[in-house]
Amino acid sequence: MTQHNSKSAKKQVLIAGGGFAGLNLAKHLYKSKDYDVTLLDKNNYNYFTPLLYQVATGFLDPSSISYPFRKLFRKKGIQYRMAALEKVDPATHTAVLSDGEMKYDYLVFAAGAKTNFFGNENIERNAIALKGVDDAIKMRNALLNTMEKAAKTTDLSERQRLLTIVVAGGGPTGVEVVGMLAEMRRHIMLKDYPELAGAKGGIYIVDGAEHLLTAMSGKTQEETYQALEALGVTVLLNTRVTDFANDVVKLSSGVIINAKTLIWSAGITAHTFEGIPESSLGIGKRMKTDTFNRVEGLEDIYAIGDISIQYTDPVYAKGHPQLAQVAIQQGRNVARNLKAIAHGKKMKPFSYFDRGDMAIVGRHNAVVDLFKHKVHLRGFLALLAWLFIHLVSLVTVNNRMKTFYNWAVAYVTKDQSLRMIFRP
């Protein structure tokens, strides 16, 4: 199946990926008079990545953080196609998709990144990753199934193994996941599973760096460490997970942890595509781009978000961090530049405005660094900032209302009612 260009004089913009970068690019080209815009994504919905862990732990429903592209793009002049981009032929401006081909005038890669297991097949096979809604549902099912098994067994050592969880990776995802798991164990487990009163089993977070949340301020790192310890989490730093098989987690320190569950949030690597030369790829397989996000060595091809890396910003000589705000701002800037090209105007280079970093640890411990760590917030004020930023970042009012309601119930009752095992 080949899609041909329409008879209109508009040029064709093809966006591969509907995450933060791709969606914000599309939004700023709504009802464009200059371009026909098509967004490709293998999923028929956009989802809010920073809250995946709350779906995985049963605090939010998948629909609270997701929204269908076709409904989002109604009457907006944006076409959606459920497909994956597999190969590109820059010479003929042809994109080969999982269900056919498309011609383009401008191709924008916004396909994000995938979990990096660093070549460890045992970890890839046995650990739980968290990069999409499917992963979140899989993780929720796995955690609940494990709890059910622990409640039934009379073997105390087996019960301890089932109730032991290791989280690899001390970035925002790892910290937020482990904090939520600790809250569940403290406030929910015995309500649902009275059989587990007095049961043993630990929650660990393991990271190879000297501190948790390495991108944030020293004050934030220390407060996060203390908050996790107060929740009963064992923090292991300067340590890596080296293997996971037969319910045994092996660490670089030589320590062995008997655990049923390993949650992997220790690294990501960019998606790669046939037709993009190796010379155009940088660290982590990210596409090297110029200051306008054009892929080096290729014409009319751009890359934005996690899949791109720029070495042109002196403030970020090793490339911008793979964060939502970078992706959002790059999507907007490329949209502005495409409009400039259509009207014969000069493009503007991308300049990243750092709005700050934040993380939440459990129910009410939040840490926020603003203005390149010059302003630090903690406690209730930080929690309100975290809640506000995440709510306003959701795609629609409907998403915001659902999420706020679920958060309010969980905060007041220290409980929630989304712990169902739904099997595909």
pLDDT at 406 over 60: yes
Average pLDDT for 25-43: 96
- On the question of pLDDT at 160 being above 70, the answer is yes
* 251-256 mean pLDDT: 97
Average per-residue pLDDT for the chain: 92
pLDDT given for residue 26 in this prediction: 97
Report the pLDDT value the prediction gives residue 1, as an integer from 0 to 100: 44
Residue 63, token pair as written in the block: 């629909």
Residue 77: partners with Cβ closer than 8 Å, 6 or more residues away: 29, 30, 31, 32, 37
Read off the pLDDT band of 8 (50, 70, 90): low
Q: Which domains does the chain have, with CATH numbers?
A: 2-42+83-115+269-342 (3.50.50.60), 121-266+363-413 (3.50.50.100)
Residue 335 pLDDT: 98
The most confident of 296-305, 310-319, 352-361, 386-395, by mean pLDDT: 296-305
Q: In the structure, what pLDDT confidence band is assigned to residue 232 with cuts at 50, 70 and 90?
A: very high
pLDDT exceeds cutoff 90 at 22: yes
pLDDT tens digits, one per residue of 175-191: 999 999 999 998 888 88
Q: What is the pLDDT of residue 7?
A: 47
Q: What is the mean pLDDT of residues 38-55?
A: 95
Rounded to whole angstroms, the Cα distance separating 71 from 7 reads: 26
* pLDDT at residue 415, as a whole number: 75
3-state SS track over the chain: CEECCCCCCCEEEEEECCCHHHHHHHHCCCCCCCEEEEEEECCCEEECHHHHHHHHCCCCCHHHCEEEHHHHCCCCCEEEEECCEEEEECCCCEEEECCEEEECCEEEECCCEEECCCCCHHHHHHCEECCCHHHHHHHHHHHHHHHHHHHHCCCHHHHHHHCCEEEECCCHHHHHHHHHHHHHHHHCHHHHCHHHCCCCCCEEEECCCCCCCCCCCHHHHHHHHHHHHHCCEEEECCCCEEEEECCEEEECCCCEEECCEEEECCCEEECCCECCCHHHECHHHCEEECCCCEECCCCCEEECHHHEEECCCHHHCCCCCCCHHHHHHHHHHHHHHHHHHHCCCCCCCCCCCCCCEEEEECCCEEEEEECCCCEEEEHHHHHHHHHHHHHHHCCCHHHHHHHHHHHHHHHHHCCCCCCCCCCC
Question: Which has the minimum average pLDDT: 12-16, 250-254, 386-390?
Answer: 386-390
Its pTM stands at: 0.90
Confidence tier at 424 by pLDDT (50, 70, 90):
low
Q: Is the pLDDT of residue 3 over 70?
A: no
* pLDDT tops 90 at residue 51: yes
Of 7-11, 389-393, 402-406, which range is least confident? 7-11
Dump pLDDT digits (tens) for 58-82.
889 999 999 999 999 999 999 999 9
